Chains A and B, each alone.
Chain A
Amino acid sequence: MEVLTPTQDPRVLSVEARPKLNRMFRLQWEEVQQGYVLLYPEGMVQLNASAAEIIRRCDGLTSVNELVADLESAFAQSGLRSQIVQLLAQAYARRWLV
């Protein structure tokens, strides 16, 4: 599979991009695992806590800028942008997001 790095993916570079979960994936809280998972045909990805916080905000309406602002306020932390952009790039490369 083609792997996109953050600087190569125009959707992430654009602060106006509104990432959305690929319809092939379903995001779900799993009580037993105490974590979010992505479910897709015959497979499952276990998300760590920070990945889950980012992915579950990707509703196709929220822009990358808004996402960063929302997360920084939710976790009372600044300087999260590069970490978020990096995760989004990985998620695009793995086709979790469109």
Chain B
Amino acid sequence: MMLAQVTGADKLNAVKPPFWLLAELTYRCPLHCVFCYNPTQHAALREELSTDEWIKVMREARAMGATQLGFSGGEPLVRDDLEVLVQEAHRLGYYTNLLTSGVGLTEPRIKALKEAGLDHIQLSFQDSTRELNDFLSSTKTFELKRRVAALIKAYDYPMVMNVVLHRHNLPHVGTIIDLALEIGAEYLELANTQYYGWAMLNREHLMPTREQLQTAEAVVNEYRLKIGSQCQFFYVVPDYFEERPKACMNGWGSVFLTIAPDGMALPCHNARDLPGLVFPSVREESIADIWQRSAGFNAFRGEDWMQEPCRSCDERHKDFGGCRCQAFMLTGDAAATDPVCSKSPLHEQVVSIVRAAETRANPGAPWKPIVFRTDANSRELIEAAGRQTRAMS
């Protein structure tokens, strides 16, 4: 008994503090992007944390050592208390990042956010063309985003331009980089689609071909050489096309702490739906208890949970077995090796998805229409899931 206690205490002490606090302030969003990673059942999650509850979260996470704070969503500007939250975050010593579509970023607000101490703004574009930008987000926002970019520069914020890449805009990667240079972004995040939430639902529509990816990567590398340090690129790899999985979240419960709009604390923004795990709410528990002691945050910490081939793999310290959510979605077992890994016995599943994108044929599955991220679609998906549960019971 004593030994078990000592081991338990050691494990607790070994848990490093969260460095990254992602505050998903709301799932409300004026855009309806087909590749959004938010949960498709967002319409059921309406009980957003109050200003005071968010302040409590920020204080507790900062006391543990969190330094980076991302205000995200949904569209965080939908919250009219954003300025208050930024001001408190700045006072606490966070480096504050606003991740926005630009909708709602008026001059009075961008000025107020500057005065509140906001450090950086990440602005999303869906494409370098108005037509595709507006189609993929189901809004008319391209021109607005360009005006917002000019405001971000005028108020002297460091700017990251973010574009999610997929089969429709990969051929435009050159003009996307041109746009980043034109608006004066210091960083450009070229994020190949990660298939979660709405993106998973629309995977057939979004999955590129290997040739598209190779061509795009060559263009990115050409620009890298040409433009020097003017703009730095972050390239998020298309993991379905890789032989090894991504080091998802840098390890479960290792660096990242996401707080969802309803106060659920998550090791990553997609963990909500993993079966058999209960994630605590910041309304009921402190951040320290959640991070260090909760079953959910300890479920995939370290290596004890790993199965073969991860358990005996030399690379397990590097990629931590990949993504738990992806393992669950593709294999039905959240503790399985991420099937992106060529060592996974189920890797063929990923290969066949990639192959289907090459031929644009998906045998056995009818062609599904593209689904935009709207409240109405979300409610329909919730009802459909309810019908399925009832039918099974």
Contacts and interface: CB of A to CB of B under 8 A. Distances in A.
Kindly list the 7 A-B residue pairs having the minimum CB-CB distance in the complex, ordered from nearest.
A32-B65, A39-B95, A41-B120, A24-B158, A41-B160, A41-B158, A44-B67
A25 B225 CA distance: 24
Given A41-B158, A42-B97, A30 B67 contact: yes
A34 to B, nearest CB: 10
B232 interface: yes
A28 B70 CA distance: 18
B216 to A, nearest CB: 20
B19 A26 contact: no
Interface of A: 1-2, 23-24, 26, 28, 30-33, 37, 39-44, 95
Given A41-B122, A44-B19, A44-B68, 12 more contacts: A2-B228, A30-B67, A32-B64, A37-B67, A41-B186, A41-B187, A42-B68, A42-B70, A42-B122, A42-B160, A44-B95, A95-B232
Interface string B62-78: 00110110100000000
A23 B67 contact: no
Nearest to B159: A41
B229 interface: yes
Given A24-B186, A28-B93, A44-B19, A39 B158 contact: no
A32 B17 contact: yes
Contact of A33 (B65, B93, B97, B120): B65
A43 B65 contact: no
Contacts of B122: 41-42
A26 B122 CA distance: 17
B119 interface: yes
A24 B187 CA distance: 11
Interface residues of B, number: 20
Contacts of A32: 17, 64-65
A89 B193 CA distance: 36
A40 B17 contact: no
Nearest to B119: A26
A22 B39 CA distance: 38
B232 A1 contact: yes
B229 A95 contact: yes
Nearest to A41: B120
Contacts of A23: 158
Interface string B110-122: 0000000001101
B194 to A, nearest CB: 16
A24 to B, nearest CB: 5
A95 B232 CA distance: 10
Interface in B224-245: 228-229, 232
Contacts of B68: 39, 42-44
28 contacts: A2-B228, A2-B229, A23-B158, A24-B186, A26-B95, A26-B119, A28-B67, A28-B93, A30-B65, A32-B17, A33-B65, A37-B67, A39-B68, A39-B95, A39-B119, A40-B95, A40-B120, A41-B119, A41-B160, A41-B187, A42-B120, A42-B160, A43-B68, A44-B67, A44-B68, A44-B95, A95-B229, A95-B232
Interface in B1-43: 17, 19
B190 to A, nearest CB: 14
A1 B122 CA distance: 22
Output the residue of B17, B64, B67, B158 with the most chain A CB within 10 A.
B67
A93 B232 CA distance: 13
B23 to A, nearest CB: 13
